[in-house]
Structure 1
Amino acid sequence: MPTEDSRLKQCLQLIFVMVTMLCVPSNVVAGGACVVAKAMGNSEAIEWVFSLESAETALQQAGDKLRQRGYKYFFPQAVVELQHAYVIILRSDYQSSRGRDRTSYGCGFSAVSYDEALWAALKNLQSYAWGWKSDREGYKIVTKARY
């Protein structure tokens, strides 16, 4: 016959298993993606897509949109597996250190807020445009969305 201590131990084990299961994320099937068309090191256009199927599907659909618009060279810039997200897309027009006019985009997703999506977009822009500085070149928000 189980003692009170063994019952308590079993209850605690069951609670531990239940809490652990709550902390493990479920398989996410939805996602978003940003794809940028480029030529000669300059960003020409950006597309972002959300797909209920998967982030990979969103990536392919964004590339297809750019291809339909006539762009040949496009590259993934941000991909996320989130069923719901805040999205910010930034654009910056500036001069490179060699005096060339440049356009760069930043794409940020967040499950929490627009502010976090903005920070993600700023980091994204800087990682793809190494010489770009937000305080010097500036930027404008071209897309603010939620899915």
Structure 2
Amino acid sequence: MFELKINRSLATLEAVKRELLSKLPTVKSSHRCEALGRALGYASYSAARTASKCPTEPVLVNGAAFQEYLKQHGFRVSPSILHRAVAKVALADVVAANEHLSVWGVGFGRSQRKPDGDWENARERYARFKVSVRRMHFLRGRGAGLGRAL
């Protein structure tokens, strides 16, 4: 069974709301918002906003509740629209929290050309990453003992 959870916060709620606007522009704003509130397990969007002011544990996203609310108001919508919107916001949160995350992994950016014109290999790329992390931690005042950690 598909299960999707998302961190509960006002910023997350607003981001999902923006995503839904871009995917469902013909659905009335109040219907989108209320359907989102139902999908997060609340009786209304207002209740979801109030609960999001003091975030605790992630909430389960219920696509069927979203779909059912919109169906009652004359809109045929797949729950996958909500799931994709929530997943996009969740992934953006992960990327924001992990500044060294890239499509190549954590801390591995794209290979760069060396001064001689050759491409750096994986070992050289990793060494470049270690240096940049040490520099970042040093500049933030957390340089002590970092040489052993990396």
TM-score range, shorter-chain basis? Answer: under 0.3
Q: TM-score, normalised by structure 1?
A: 0.22
Q: TM-score, normalised by structure 2?
A: 0.22
Greater per-residue strand proportion = 1
